[in-house]
């Protein structure tokens, strides 16, 4: 069950588990740059309306230029689209595995996050969000190809 919101704060954090998520060697640097950019812009929701109007399109345009999946999901033209800031809460250690930097992610948009990551991850990666009865997860089969996990408690 989610906590009540005051209206101006970001949505609740959602627990995340990442298993067997190896970043494709040829895409590591690019994903690392995307993670870094989204991490730096993660506080967008706490900024003034003016700054949100300025930085939101910048982030959408940045993602559109670097991700085929993002372009397919948000459309080719313009500077609007979903802003998956939760991607900024991952890291890629020297071994090339994708690791979350926290046990829970703010406003993760789980399916969108997994679809975007599918472009960069080797098939077989598993990402699970939530816990207990609200747990939901996917296995990456290929770029923008996912299989929903049957997660039962």
pLDDT computed for residue 56 by the predictor? 75
pLDDT digits (tens, 9 = 90+) for 86-142: 899 999 998 999 999 999 998 779 999 999 999 999 999 999 999 999 999 999 999
Short-list 39, 34, 149, CA closest to 86? 39
The pTM of this model reads 0.83
pLDDT digits (tens, 9 = 90+) for 7-24: 334 457 899 999 999 999
Pairing type for strands 90-91 and 99-100 reads antiparallel
Q: Residue 78 above 70 pLDDT? A: no
Does residue 54 lie in a domain region? yes
Cβ(29)–Cβ(66) under 8 Å?
Answer: no
The dihedral sign for the CA sequence 71, 72, 73, 78: positive
Q: Using pLDDT thresholds of 50, 70 and 90, give the confidence band for residue 79.
A: low
Short-list 81, 76, 27, CA closest to 59? 81
Does residue 6 lie in a domain region? no
Does residue 112 lie in a domain region? yes
3-state secondary structure of 110: helix
Structural domains of the chain, count: 1
Q: In terms of residue numbers, what domain contains 85?
A: 13-148
Sheet containing 13-19: give its strands across: 104-106, 13-19, 126-129, 136-142, 145-148
Does residue 89 lie in a domain region? yes
pLDDT computed for residue 45 by the predictor? 62
């Amino acid at each position: 069950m989610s906590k009540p919101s005051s209206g101006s704060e970001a949505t609740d954090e959602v627990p995340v588990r990442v298993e067997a998520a190896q970043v494709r060697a040829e895409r590591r640097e690019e994903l690392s740059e995307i993670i870094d950019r989204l991490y730096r812009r993660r506080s967008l929701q706490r900024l003034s309306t003016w700054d949100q109007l300025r930085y939101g399109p910048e982030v959408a345009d940045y993602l559109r230029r670097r991700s085929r999946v993002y372009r397919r999901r948000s459309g080719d033209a313009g500077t609007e689209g979903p802003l998956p800031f939760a991607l900024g809460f991952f890291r890629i250690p020297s071994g090339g595995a994708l690791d979350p930097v926290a046990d829970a992610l703010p406003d993760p948009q789980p399916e969108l996050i997994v679809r975007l990551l599918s472009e960069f991850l080797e098939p077989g990666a598993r990402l699970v969000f939530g816990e207990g009865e609200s747990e939901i997860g996917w296995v990456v089969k290929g770029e923008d190809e996912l299989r929903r996990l049957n997660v039962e408690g």
